[in-house]
Amino acid sequence: MRGRTLALVAVAAVTLAALLAVAVAFALRSSSSPLVLKLVTSAPSGTIDDNGTDLWLLSLTLSNRSAEFFMVDRGWPAAAARVNGNWRPTLPLTTARDLRPHSEQDVLLLVPFSADACRLETQFVIEPLHLRCMRILANLGLWRYSWYRYLAPHIFPIGWLQPVKSDYLGSAPRWRQVTTEVLLPGSSVTNGP
């Protein structure tokens, strides 16, 4: 009787481990990017670069389609514009902000007039579980209670209101890099300034 129980427990554990491995593999295999880049407007900027090329101001939106909170590297975005089939670095005019689930943020770029596409290379880390718990509990307003204010510093190893990013990401976080690209309308390429 004891041998049968042990065998059933072993079979159940192996089955559960296999199902967990399949679920993790399926989650890691997602082929679509969680970030989407869309063109909102393009207009002449009124500036000319060193080569005498008129620059265009692009207003783009970067959308987070997932249900995850993305902590974006402050060094982003590495922006580039495709001119005559070659990618040239461009100047982003906005600063990085973390992306909440299903949210958007505006990105402004200066690109050459003859650009037919632009792309952003974004690095982000998915919000760690302990920080997600801190944010959810803070949004619930539990900080108003004295017992929570006492327990929070003991439960969470960092400051729970405004922690320093290096405290919860560590010294060498595993950044995920995503390149998003958008084609620019043909009218801006064919019409002169």
- DSSP code for 42: E
Q: With H, G, I as helix, E, B as strand and everything else as coil, classify residue 37.
A: strand
Q: With H, G, I as helix, E, B as strand and everything else as coil, classify residue 7.
A: helix
- Highest mean pLDDT pick, 43-57, 78-92, 116-130, 153-167: 78-92
The arithmetic mean of pLDDT across residues 108-122, rounded, is 87
pLDDT at 192 exceeding the cut of 50 = no
> How many residues does this entry show for the chain?
193
Q: pLDDT category, 10, cuts 50, 70, 90? A: confident
Confirm if 122 and 83 have CB atoms less than 8 A apart: no
The arithmetic mean of pLDDT across residues 23-48, rounded, is 73
Per-residue pLDDT tens digits for 48-96: 777 777 888 888 888 888 888 887 877 666 889 998 889 988 878 887 7
For residue 170, what pLDDT is reported? Answer: 55
More confident residue, 67 or 157: 67
Name 78's Cβ contacts closer than 8 Å, sequence gap at least 6.
89, 120, 121
pTM of the model: 0.61
Structure tokens at 179: 């390149």
| The CATH homologous superfamily of the domain defined by 33-124+171-190 | Immunoglobulins (2.60.40.10)
